[in-house]
Amino acid sequence: MGNRSLIVSIEKKVRRILYVAYPLLPVSRESCGGAEQMLAVVESEIANRGHFTTIAACSGSQASGATFSTGRETTEHDRFTERDAEHQVRILDLLQRTHSTFDLVHDKSGSFWRRAAECNVPVLATLHLPRHFYPGESFRNLPPNLYFNCVSDMQSRSFSNVRNVLSVVRNGIQVKQFPFTPEKEDYLLWMGRICEEKGPHVAIEVAQRTGLPLVLAGQVYPFTYHQLFYNATVRPHLGGSNPPICFIETPTLETKIRLLRNARALLVPSLVEETSSLVAMEAMACGTPVIGSRRGAIPEVVIDQLTGFIVDDVDEMGEAVWRIGDINPHACRVHVETNHSSSRMAEEYEALYEDVLALEAGRNSSQAA
């Protein structure tokens, strides 16, 4: 009887989680945006742990659990305000129509959490962006059912004066999806959104200084300033032979993994305070070293002189290319397996959900007393 009671007491509770996606783009394994990738991975892991999951996103999204369409996807950034409003209204309507169906809302959209006061369940919002990306008034007069988590220690410090920031849950990847490959080819790789803040032009300069081939892989989003930057700063360097620089637009997941596996090194020359770096984790999982800027949380993800090099400028990045042979590919793989796996991330989110629900239960009890 005693053993049976113990088993019952430690039995995991099955939760019903509604995940809220960014409103413009569908969520799937092929997603390019970091927030969409993280939502897809977290939802899959939590569903595999036996919980009931639903993703609220634009049409065409895929999930391990259920999906709820909030409208058609759009690549027109000018329609963001209109599309975001539609997205939020439909989610609020879902919550009202299915009262008590969900235990918790996990917001990965970057904006839905501002409607938390209208929700009948607690809302956990993952803050993916640097503090200064959010309007100054965003964190005033927060409703009591709203909670936050950060994705890196550096980011968390910048939110230290915001109420209900509960913990740091570092991003993670499905490591088995990225095969370890110790033998490398002799090209440099840059991967991400084609925009100035991600530094593809810095990667081009590194390639020109070292004479090594460079592969740029990513997406030019339909934002005017992104397209202007691409046409003025990136496109003129493509197609040459001294050194060869090519651009693979919107690579499939299969192509992305092939590029990450075989690169001599991944360059992450970000010009902003990154809160994490999924592509760095993916490269290191393949045994590919990373050369990254000393900005934001990149030094938390890439361990200087163990899994790559942390540098301060383009000169140091170029010099680090010639030292990349000092990095052991096995050390890169072990680092990701130990610190950045999706299973570790899901376990921490699962515990965080329980913390949020316990705080809500305590708050509701206090109000009822």
Q: What digits encode the pLDDT tens for the residues 233-281?
A: 999 999 988 899 999 999 999 999 999 999 999 999 999 999 999 999 9
Q: Which DSSP symbol is given to 112?
A: G
Give strand pairing partners of 267: 291
In this prediction, residue 8 carries a pLDDT of 40
Query: For the chain, what are the domain ranges?
Result: 13-172+342-368, 175-339
CATH architecture of 13-172+342-368: 3-Layer(aba) Sandwich (3.40)
Q: Region 304-322: what's the mean pLDDT?
A: 98
The whole-angstrom separation of Cα 87 and Cα 233 is 35
The whole-angstrom separation of Cα 138 and Cα 92 is 19
The whole-angstrom separation of Cα 197 and Cα 31 is 20
Would you say 244 and 213 are in contact if contact means Cβ atoms under 8 Å apart?
Answer: yes
Would you say 85 and 110 are in contact if contact means Cβ atoms under 8 Å apart?
Answer: no
Q: Taking 90 as the threshold, does the pLDDT of residue 180 lie above it?
A: yes
> pLDDT digit string (tens) for 44-103?
999 999 999 999 999 999 999 999 999 987 766 667 889 899 999 999 999 999 877 999
Residue 158 CB coordination number (10 Å):
17
Whether the domain at 13-172+342-368 and the domain at 175-339 fall into the same CATH topology: yes
The number of helix segments (H) and strand segments (E) in the chain equals 12, 13
The whole-angstrom separation of Cα 271 and Cα 198 is 6
9 confidence band (pLDDT: 50, 70, 90): very low
> pLDDT digit string (tens) for 11-40?
679 999 999 999 988 887 766 667 788 899
Angle, helices 278-285/34-48, rounded to nearest 10 degrees: 60
CATH architecture of 175-339: 3-Layer(aba) Sandwich (3.40)
pTM of the model: 0.90
